[in-house]
Structure 1
Amino acid sequence: MDSRPPPPPPPASNGRTSTPVGFGSGSSPLTQVQARPLSRASTPGAANVGSPAEPQSAGRSPFGGPPVRTSPSPAPGMSPRPMPGMSPRPMPQSGAARVTSPLARSAVSPVMGGMALSPQQNAYPQPPRPQQAYPQAGMSPQQGYSQPLQQAYPQPRASMPPQPQHPAQNAYPQPPRPQQHPAQQAYPTASLPPQQQQYPPTSLPPQQQQYPSASLPPQQYPAQQAYPQQQMSPPQVGSPPQMGASSRRRLYPEQMASAYAGQQAPQGAAEAPAYSGAPSAAPAFFVPGAGPAPVTSPSALMQGQPMQGQPMQGQPMQGQPMQGPGQPMYGQGQPMQGQGQPMYGQGQGQVDGLTQQFGQMGMAEFQTMVLNGRPDLAALDEAPPAMRLAPGTMCVAAEECAPRFQRSTLNAVPRTDKLLKKTRLPLGLLVTPVCADDDVAVAPDIVRCRRCRTYINPFVAFTDGGRRWRCNMCGLSNDVPLTFDYDSATQTQKDRWSRADLRNAVVEFVAPLEYMVRPPMPPAYVFLIDVSYAAAQLGAPGVVAQTIRDTLDQLPDADGRTRVAIIGVDAQLHFFQMRAGAEPQQLVVGDVDEVVLPAPADLLVNLSDARSSLDLVLERFGTMFSGNHGVGNALGPAIRAAQQMLGGIGGRIVAVMASPPTTGEGLVELRAEGRDLGTPRESELLRAQGTWYKNVAADCSRAQIAFDTVFLGQQAMDVATVAGLARYTGGTLLHYPAFMAGRPEAVRFASEFGRHLAGAAGLEAVLRVRASKGLRMSAYYGHFFLRSLDLLALPSVDPGRCYAVDLEIDETLPPVVYFQTALLHTTALGERRIRVVTQAVPTTDNAHSVFHHADQSAIAALLAKKAVDRALAARLEDAREALQHKTLEILGAFKTLCTQASSGAATQLQVPRALRLLPLLTLATLKHPALRGGNNVRVADRIAAMSLVLTLPPETLLQPLLVPRMYALHELEPMVGLDDESGAVVMPPHLPLSAEVLSPRGIFLVYSGADAILWVGRDVDPSLLSSLVGEPHMQSGVFTFPDLSDNGSSRPGFELNYRTNNVLRALSALCHGMWAPPMFVCREDGDQQIRLLLAQRLVEDMDTAAPSYSQFLNQMRDKINRGSF
């Protein structure tokens, strides 16, 4: 027996834990262990634990599973088990957990502090050993392992050749043992208490993962003969020659792990090659956050059945850093931050390596669907595919970006432009920086990258003991400001990890003076109201004036600085001089060729000071112009006058028109559209006449003036020309073709127009989108003026206004890409703010991941906006063909790259589950008035529809505008229309948008946002109608739905009316109240026009403009089979 004692036991655990954060070959980059990284002066044979430079650390299985720990081999002559008839010595009670099963044991390397002792160390006393090579608890990385590791181990005998030392190996040769593999000496690790466990258990079958607690008595080890016969692993290339007493080749820990995995592979492990040169198992992609990667054996590949790996056990590391007294000071080693955030000074290589693994999205949950039936409309209410970011992407557990603020079309971005072009999927962003009724956290101060100007966000990394932070966009290391951890308001130290800009992906900053060209200006409104004969015949002056008067109390005027002016427009300009405490006066300017303001100081007045005069003008406005017989509309001169009023402060011009501009500047020539509708010449009618309105819009944009244009009535007004005012100034276009005072359309106008004026819009805004290196913004869509290549000028930003961005890939992307949108604006309270929205999206090299993590709602919305933009710039037919062609390309690329029928004809159309509604959304876009074919869509209606498509966010654009909601009111479930436990109204199930579901005995509601249609069958029960509307019979036509409730409570006999009203209010809330649609009653045998309107809403049926949904699928399938896309 050799006189040299075995290696010393490991030092006591310092109480830290380690958590599994990833899989794949090599060591887990973010797995934290007790031992500090070895210094560069360590022994060459020793493993540098946790070093990101090592591709695979010692003790880790080459199959990508958790680390397999090995114990030092005993000296010759010493048995690792008690001899027969002898009882083992009692196991120490501290520093190790007792183990009861030899199949669930694994000793650990002495270099891993705080781990379980091997059976040999537990059974026999150990002589003292020098400890200078082991780090002590609480030591910094610079203090640990300052001495070479060889000092703790004796040198090999002179008769033996030098062997590379390894922490998990003994320096003594192994005696031959019959029918035993050296890897059998390594038992799986016993389960330690949470504060001591360093590694997750290996992926063993479930019965082997139940480890006994440390309080159980020591277990007798069975004899080796109980192990089955094991096949020897093949010799390793480059192994040292075998000498000494052992006749077999010694293995390094990595080789022992391989041999062990080959003999007793955990459930889900890859099958080892059966012979030399046999093909290895195909690499399996895994889904981050969904457990280990599914590993497929060669035999399973032949049968097409993947073997799923055993899911990781235990709880993942939480993102919240340790707070309170246990928080170390900066510079002494930062505690575990976020989900595996590396310690300060360790670099970002570990995070990048693991993120690259997480970028390979798993194929296990990829589902391919066959489209051969009704579409699943309920999928439109589902959230977009989850973006699985690698642990450590955030510096602290933070709230991610909500889709209502910003969403990407691809939640797994292709890493290269080549892969993006192969998939044919569009890469873009849909940004809605100001949402209705949003509550955004406010950060105390502004911290930005000094090179790329990115705002600090939850995805940065702190280094150098917290004194520097690394930009997630460009990678530059920036100094942390001295006041970053100091609260100037309370004059106290504050917790860094509670800062709003580190805890929220959407945050606002209060802009300091250097972000202001001038002080925030007061909100100002100039109303241009058409008072011509055509407008008077509709009753427009009185309705518009009354609506403005009712909205004055809702205008943003918290600081009492809001200003208002009113101008009546016909062939002349009618100004109103309003002084505080004086009778208002009307000033008429007949010379419109060169407008001069008659009383500049008293036209744009303070809302609070001149409120009484303003109320009097608006009260008399309708009567004043009710008998006006003047013809003509001097809209251009009125705009020039409004520009003079707002030139110094900016604001909003609201033009309400019922006749075309025919006098002065900006006059238009009426174009006959009847014979050109439905022909290629229709595209010419969608373009503006001349550039006057576009030039005015550009001038107003520079002066921070926005335009809202409202068109009333059906008279031809060349909406396509005037619409440029709103399009290039960030304004809004509203159209009410059936407007008439006293009719439901006038009620709708008053509701929607008043809500628009009362909205808390941002003023004097600019918007910029930043992206990671390798990405480039190529195009923008929406209402704005493009001031530079990446800066959008927005004189006004309304809540719910969406902007779309096209992205291109210029170079290979990192494992995670970032998008940051910054909106600098003035709030309604006169405060300059910067709203920052930051989003992180993983990248991948796998085409399956790209398809199955695509956001079909974002893709459909982006394609619709691009189609409208192309229709305005080119031809309507080109836009329709481009939209269909893009959808064909996407589905054809999926068939080629991701299905077994990659070549040849397929009998059915296969799509990824994430894109199962893309064909329906494409068909619905083609049937919408914005792109609808045929000759039954007027130009004004089409321009208004295009404006909605360009400005609405996906959640409102797709449903209900493009894809209406249809409910059966005659067979509601008991809880439908009532509040659930959370207070939300229970909605009815979606019905297919087809006339096939309409029943002669039923009542159906079709809601599209723009209108609501109540379809009543010819054989409906009169008592059912009485419960719904209070009458046993209904006629076709416009209808105002009654409210028969008793102060908000249901009345006996009218339960259906109460529940239907709740459903209607819930539908309006889903659209943020932006619409107050009129209701039409459509009898099965009633008015033909209303029946045609209903047919246009049933997008699954065939009409004169487009095929049915089933026909559309067959056409796409045939074109894909022929490759004609």
Structure 2
Amino acid sequence: MNTPPDLDSDGVRFNWNSLPVTRSELSNLAMPIGCLFTPLHNPDIPRLHTPLVLCTGCNATLNPMCAIDLVRRLWRCCLCCLENTFPLSHTSRLDVGAVPPEVQPGSSTVEYVLDRPPSCPPAYLYVIDTTLELLELAALKRTVLESVKLLPRGSLVGLVTYDKVVQVHQLGGFPATVCIAGDIKGYDTGRIQRILGIVGNRTRLWDHSQRYLSSTSEPFLSAVERLQTSKWESKIGERPLRATGTALAVTTALVSGIFRDFCAHVMLFSGGPATYGPGTVVPPSKASTLRSHSSIEKSDAKRYKSAYDFYASLLEGSTSISYSIFAGSYDQVGVYEMRRLCNDTGGAMVINDSFTTELFRQSFLAWISHIIQETIPGVSHVISTHLDATLEIFASSGLKVTGIIGHCRSLKEPGSCVHDEQVGKGLTRRWKMAAISPRHTYAVFFHVDSGHKPAPRELHFQFKTTYMHLGKMRVRVTTFTRPTSNMVDLVHGFDQEAAIVLLARLAVDRLERSFYDTFASLVQWLDATTIKLCKTFGTYTRGHPETFALGPTFTLFPQFVYHLRRSPFLQVFNSSPDVTAFYHHTLLRANAYDACVMVQPSLVAYSAVAEPSPVVLDETSLQPDQVLFLDAFFYVVIWYGSTAAQWRDAELDMADFSHVHRMFEGPKVEAAALLANRFPLPRYVMTDAGKSQARFLTCKLNPSGREGGIYGLVLTDGVSLYGYMREVTRLVVG
């Protein structure tokens, strides 16, 4: 993939690296101007222990794009062009003619460590479903006990368990738990806080007197070890009574009212759907089935809307709580209804078949430690998840932000750089991220005002990210510029990888924010966008399809759209709403590289007579004497051709057939390296040609053999890439 030069230092990647300035250019773009921004992308940046120098006009921060006048001790803001006086803290450096560090070359991204008193330490609350079977609960307890050792030093921990009744554990207090009925109709946050005895605590500063949270692990470990499966027996033909919604409501009330300036991460471990109390997604009777995509689109899922609204209402309790959901069940658990808890706060979402699997253990511990390794014990400790973050955006005059698509919440703060049209979470210049890490990437969209005379040669952007790190606040300021079409032609500034990722996020956001957009209508919207882009930037003679051609910066875009149409983000056949929510959640935080792999997987061929090489994602790549390695992000596949499988089963001598053994070992080494650095951990599949699990590979391949109405190696009713491009070309030139 082509990587713009500023990505390594600033974590910014635009779809249009040359910005339009005329009305006709803006109308022909076919997709909005946007960028992918990873705030904590680069750890090796200058860190300053001085106060921020702010513009008195627009409140932007001093940066290398600002003009400096050392004689008059003034600096001109690159965003609003206002002259400002340097503060006294910079006077000593200016006296000797030294340039302030924040304006030196290479300081496009700097981080300020603020000299503020330490705030309350972060808290991690475990919300555990006790309706699990005995083996499931035992495995989950072992993983939870193991995870506590990986938490940041000095963190607070708390425990909430639930079945039909929610139990808030008093760590070291008496009684051991405070019980709240699962059916809490009529209970508001204030009433829950009165039951817990924390009314009025929100005005208090943090201290060690709180009995529900412990700064030492011993009381928490003892409480987890004592956990037992639910004593409420399920009737024959009924699901366990599971008050998931009540448990989350109680935990939210606890965290939001326990202390002032308190931030926490809530981790839900659910073994099945909510069947009792608010947030119920299915009745206890097994005769009632869980909702499907079809029932939701037809408005036949009677409990979906009320459950979705209930879980969304929990976000109103506090902006400093992040939620993560870990599901361990062969059935759905209601993640689709709860998805906003994760998507709006920066939490994680992981779906597994069982808590007993090694895949769950490694995924959860990797999320806690943020170092994915095959053996977690003895892992070096690195803290890379930060809490209580905000992102503030500043822009040049005539440049307005329309919104963000990613794991954040709008703070609804207006400003001169805010556009009145909304894309994603818009109508604001500040957003809240309850949790943020180097894995979080945000899609930011802009609108360029075409009314400026004369048109500018370049436009400036500044992103200011404030977050808490080890009890102290840090501010990371990223400032960059982009030329306009007066300087660089639009065609040469197009980044097709960034464009397809932004387009995928736009599609997912439309599904997440609307109850009326269907998957089929979004596919039509994608096709219309592709056709408009090809019409504008392609070259062709009208009525002659053979003359159609795209420039090198656009060549791969229709191919990306073809694979996006077939991706699990838009194709939900044989996929549950919970799994779709998981796919969407992962896309909404992924960087450009990972998201491109999700849309169009990579395929590498290993041969006994040649070096490993990438091959096209086509059924013609299925060769009998090769081993293929597919990276589809959510799963990886090692596929053995029929001849290669025979060589493997023959256990050929290593000395005589070293080249064959290298062919077999190469994909395994590649898979191990990939699994060591990915979250969530992908499913690992090894299969042979013709076996049932070969479908994980063949479903991603272009069915080129279907041309002429004949089925090839891949049996599918879907259109081939050639057929898709032929139809797009016909509509473009027709």
Q: For this structure pair, what is the TM-score category when the shorter chain's length is used for normalisation?
A: 0.7 to 0.9
- The amino acid of 2:507's aligned partner reads A
User: For 2:717 and 2:253, how far apart are their aligned partners in 1?
Assistant: 47
Report deviation, 1:403.
Answer: 7.0
User: For 2:690 and 2:505, how far apart are their aligned partners in 1?
Assistant: 37
- The amino acid of 1:625's aligned partner reads T
The alpha-carbon distance between structure 1 residues 787 and 926, as it changes in their structure 2 partners (threshold 3 A), is same
The alpha-carbon distance between structure 1 residues 679 and 711, as it changes in their structure 2 partners (threshold 3 A), is closer
Q: Share of identical aligned residues, percent?
A: 19
Deviations 1:225-272 (A, max 9, x none): xxxxxxxxxxxxxxxxxxxxxxxxxxxxxxxxxxxxxxxxxxxxxxxx
User: For 2:391 and 2:105, how far apart are their aligned partners in 1?
Assistant: 22
1:448-847 equivalences in 2 (<5 Å): 448-463=54-69, 465=71, 467-484=73-90, 486=92, 495-496=98-99, 498-499=101-102, 503-512=106-115, 520-532=119-131, 535-536=132-133, 539-557=135-153, 560=154, 562-579=155-172, 585=176, 588-590=179-181, 593=184, 594=187, 595=192, 603-607=211-215, 609=216, 611-621=217-227, 624-625=228-229, 629=233, 631-647=240-256, 648=259, 649-669=262-282, 672=289, 677=294, 681=298, 689=307, 691-701=309-319, 704-736=320-352, 738-739=353-354, 741=356, 743-755=357-369, 760-788=384-412, 789-810=428-449, 811-812=451-452, 813-827=455-469, 829-845=470-486
Tell me whether 719-728 or 1095-1104 shows the greater mean CA deviation.
1095-1104
- The amino acid of 1:826's aligned partner reads M
Q: Secondary structure at the match of 1:604?
A: coil
Please say if residues 597 and 641 of structure 1, whose CA atoms lie closer than 8 Å, have aligned partners that are also in contact: no
Partner of 2:722: 1110
1:927-946 equivalences in 2 (<5 Å): 927-932=566-571, 935-946=573-584
Please say if residues 101 and 107 of structure 2, whose CA atoms lie closer than 8 Å, have aligned partners that are also in contact: no
Please say if residues 784 and 793 of structure 1, whose CA atoms lie closer than 8 Å, have aligned partners that are also in contact: yes
Q: Secondary structure at the match of 2:333?
A: coil
The alpha-carbon distance between structure 1 residues 954 and 589, as it changes in their structure 2 partners (threshold 3 A), is same
Partner of 1:258: none
Q: Secondary structure at the match of 2:80?
A: coil
Partner of 2:701: 1098
The alpha-carbon distance between structure 1 residues 485 and 1053, as it changes in their structure 2 partners (threshold 3 A), is farther
Please say if residues 780 and 803 of structure 1, whose CA atoms lie closer than 8 Å, have aligned partners that are also in contact: yes
The answer on 1:861 being equivalent to 2:501 is yes
Q: Secondary structure at the match of 2:144?
A: helix
Deviations 1:416-473 (A, max 9, x none): 24312124343112111123x7233212331121101111111111136362111111
The alpha-carbon distance between structure 1 residues 1100 and 770, as it changes in their structure 2 partners (threshold 3 A), is farther
User: For 2:687 and 2:138, how far apart are their aligned partners in 1?
Assistant: 31
User: For 1:821 and 1:688, how far apart are their aligned partners in 2?
Assistant: 37
Whose strand fraction is larger, Structure 1's or Structure 2's? 2
User: For 2:60 and 2:267, how far apart are their aligned partners in 1?
Assistant: 36
Q: Unmatched 5+ residue regions in structure 2?
A: 199-208, 235-239, 372-381, 413-427, 707-714
Report deviation, 1:955.
Answer: 1.6
Partner of 2:45: 440
Deviations 1:1074-1108 (A, max 9, x none): 23223222221222xx2332222325667757422
Please say if residues 505 and 839 of structure 1, whose CA atoms lie closer than 8 Å, have aligned partners that are also in contact: yes
Please say if residues 920 and 1109 of structure 1, whose CA atoms lie closer than 8 Å, have aligned partners that are also in contact: yes
Deviations 1:761-807 (A, max 9, x none): 22111111221111111232112221112211222113311211221
Partner of 1:967: 604
Partner of 1:875: 518
The alpha-carbon distance between structure 1 residues 972 and 1010, as it changes in their structure 2 partners (threshold 3 A), is farther
Q: Secondary structure at the match of 2:490?
A: helix
Partner of 1:949: 587
Partner of 1:1063: 670
Please say if residues 497 and 592 of structure 2, whose CA atoms lie closer than 8 Å, have aligned partners that are also in contact: yes
- TM-score in terms of structure 2 length: 0.82
Report deviation, 1:883.
Answer: 1.6
Report deviation, 1:852.
Answer: 2.0
Report deviation, 1:687.
Answer: 6.1
Partner of 2:639: 1015
Deviations 1:947-979 (A, max 9, x none): 1222212121112x22222222333756xxxxx
- The amino acid of 1:1067's aligned partner reads L
Whose helix fraction is larger, Structure 1's or Structure 2's? 2
Please say if residues 803 and 951 of structure 1, whose CA atoms lie closer than 8 Å, have aligned partners that are also in contact: yes
**Greater Cα radius of gyration, structure 1 or 2:** 1
Q: For CA contacts below 8 A with separation 6 or more, give which structure has more relative contact order.
A: 2
- The amino acid of 1:1006's aligned partner reads L
1:418-433 equivalences in 2 (<5 Å): 418-433=24-39
Deviations 1:984-1038 (A, max 9, x none): xxxx421111221112222211122211112122222655467xxxx689xxxxx
Q: Unmatched 5+ residue regions in structure 1?
A: 1-380, 387-399, 975-987, 1034-1043, 1045-1050
User: For 1:836 and 1:708, how far apart are their aligned partners in 2?
Assistant: 28
Deviations 1:40-90 (A, max 9, x none): xxxxxxxxxxxxxxxxxxxxxxxxxxxxxxxxxxxxxxxxxxxxxxxxxxx
- TM-score in terms of structure 1 length: 0.54
Partner of 1:994: 618
Report deviation, 1:602.
Answer: 5.9
Please say if residues 35 and 444 of structure 2, whose CA atoms lie closer than 8 Å, have aligned partners that are also in contact: yes
Q: Secondary structure at the match of 1:526?
A: strand
User: For 1:973 and 1:497, how far apart are their aligned partners in 2?
Assistant: 55
- The amino acid of 2:432's aligned partner reads A
The alpha-carbon distance between structure 1 residues 724 and 658, as it changes in their structure 2 partners (threshold 3 A), is same
Tell me whether 666-675 or 563-572 shows the greater mean CA deviation.
666-675
- The amino acid of 1:997's aligned partner reads S
The alpha-carbon distance between structure 1 residues 759 and 1010, as it changes in their structure 2 partners (threshold 3 A), is farther
- Of residues 890, 902, 916, the one that matches 2:555 is 916
User: For 2:170 and 2:721, how far apart are their aligned partners in 1?
Assistant: 59
Please say if residues 242 and 275 of structure 2, whose CA atoms lie closer than 8 Å, have aligned partners that are also in contact: yes
Report deviation, 1:945.
Answer: 1.0
